Amino acid sequence: MRELPELPDAVRRLVRADPDDRWAKVFGRIAVYSFLVALVSGILLLPFFQPSMAPVVYHGSYRKLDGLTMSHAYQSALNLSFGVRGGLLIRQVHHWSADLFVAAVCLRLVRVFFRGRFRRPDWLIWVGLLLAGMLGGLSGTILPDDMLSGGSLSVLTGVMLSLPLVGTHAVMLIFGGPVPGHVIIPRDYWLHIVVLPVVLGGLLLLSYRNGSPRAFRVRRVRRLDPLLPFTAAVLVTLGAVAQINPVWLYGPYVPGSISAGSVPDWYMGFLDGALRLMPAWEPSIGGHPLSLDVLIPAVVVPGLFFTVVAAYPLLDGWIGGGRPPRGLLPPKPADPANRTSFGVAGIALYGLLWAAAANDEIADHLHMSLYTVTWVFRVLALAGPPLAFALTRMICHAAEARRRDEAEHGVETGRIVMTPEGGFTEIREPVAPLAKTTSLSARH
């Protein structure tokens, strides 16, 4: 029996092997390790950051902002980046680990989705991890109180104000008064360092609640999982060579302004793109404006998207077209092509909205009108997902028909021979037993 590594009990539960899917296991472990790196790097940053919006005049290492009035939060972010040895490296590693965490969770969800290995509690837990990870990244972006932070707050404020009846009250409650107020950074700070890490850690432990796999219980040898130092090394390398969130270039937050060229993290790009594509619809109902140009792209569309993602295991049988036996009618097997096509359509919608977030950059580089690029993306966002669904379904059915033909008649070799009757036929080789079994099992 091959010797398998043993980890400490708490970590070993988090990296439980999935015997059904090796890649899902790998993505899950990368998510865990990137979360641990974010946790450690965040703890190292805590003593140097001051979550205060009180004004102060900056006199620090970054001379270009010398003498400028800013908040304590932004000043501490600058001092951390330029006045603390290794501070910029740790801050960038912290940011990259948050991005990697969301990417690993997304890849795990995509892998499980296309393989159809849904386990409802686990699926919901990982969808919750995705949403909590995105919220964690957004809350971390807001903390430095720079122009990028202010842009994120402006978008968040606009989204909340678009909510009918409760929007204004929600903004006043969260900001503690008129926007931007003086309490949003401290409140976001406690959300970022306490609430969200507890939620993320709890969900990760809950997702691996069944303990270690059977293989870990056969032979135990204490050895570190090589994926942990590899993930940490990649994140440290990214933090050292790849600049991310250079707060000193954006400047301190000034209400009503936004930094040119500032963009959100990659996983929030779809929201920015949806806001850019939505027409300026703002009807008035009873003398009160209804901001559909913000409500639909920022609340309705993401809400429906993530609701469908979370509830998909319940919808899989209906989308796949399967049917249990009814009376004298035999059972109808589900069509996996429908699930694959549905997933590709969802990815196409996400990708198009994500690309639309760069409509101004695309228009500038292609020397096209911004309105032309925006209308192209509007058409693609509506027509792209149905076309992706139809094309993917057609390709899946063609591939399955070919596999079925090869399982029944053999694989084409391209060698033509003459029959005793004077005709010509192609020699076919039998399919390997494993491939034939897999193809035939897909039919039942």
Convert the pLDDT of each residue in 352-370 to its tens digit: 999 999 888 899 899 999 9
Convert the pLDDT of each residue in 229-274 to its tens digit: 999 999 999 999 999 989 998 889 888 777 666 678 888 889 999 9
Q: How many whole angstroms separate alpha carbon 32 and alpha carbon 194?
A: 18
Q: Report, at the CATH architecture level, how domain 4-262 is classified.
A: Up-down Bundle (1.20)
Q: How many whole angstroms separate alpha carbon 286 and alpha carbon 295?
A: 18
Q: How many whole angstroms separate alpha carbon 232 and alpha carbon 224?
A: 13
Containing 56, the helix (H) or strand (E) segment is strand 55-57
CB 286 within 8 A of CB 120: no
Instruction: State phi, psi for 201 to the nearest 5 degrees.
Output: -65, -40
**How many CB atoms within 10 Å of residue 64?**
8
Q: Residue 255 burial by CB count (10 A; 0-12/13-18/19+): exposed, middle or buried?
A: exposed
State the DSSP string of 115-172.
HT---HHHHHHHHHHHHHHHHHHHHHHHTT-BHHHHHHHHHHHHHHHTSTTTHHHHHH
Place of tokens 């913000």: 294
172 to each of 140, 162, 287, 295, 299, how far by Cα in Å? Answer: 21, 14, 22, 18, 19
CB 3 within 8 A of CB 221: yes
Compute the CA torsion angle 213, 216, 217, 219 (nearest 10 deg). 160
pLDDT score, position 289: 82
- DSSP-assigned letter for residue 430: P
Q: How many whole angstroms separate alpha carbon 381 and alpha carbon 361?
A: 18
Q: How many whole angstroms separate alpha carbon 171 and alpha carbon 187?
A: 13
Task: List beta partners, residue 424.
Answer: 418
pLDDT score, position 34: 96
pLDDT score, position 327: 57
Residue 133: partners with Cβ closer than 8 Å, 6 or more residues away: 98, 101, 102, 105, 200
pLDDT score, position 431: 67
Q: 186-190: which pairs have CB atoms within 8 A and are 24 or more residues apart?
A: 186/51, 186/52, 186/53, 188/51, 188/139, 188/142, 188/143, 189/49, 189/51, 189/143
Closest CA to 123 of 278, 315, 289, 350: 315
pLDDT score, position 254: 85
Closest CA to 184 of 160, 202, 203: 160
Domain ranges for the chain: 4-262, 410-441
Q: How many whole angstroms separate alpha carbon 437 and alpha carbon 404?
A: 11
* pLDDT mean for each 10 residues of the chain (444 residues): 43 46 88 95 94 92 90 93 93 96 95 84 92 94 90 88 88 86 91 95 83 42 82 95 91 78 82 91 83 90 91 82 58 74 93 91 91 95 95 89 75 74 74 49 42
Stated length of the chain: 444
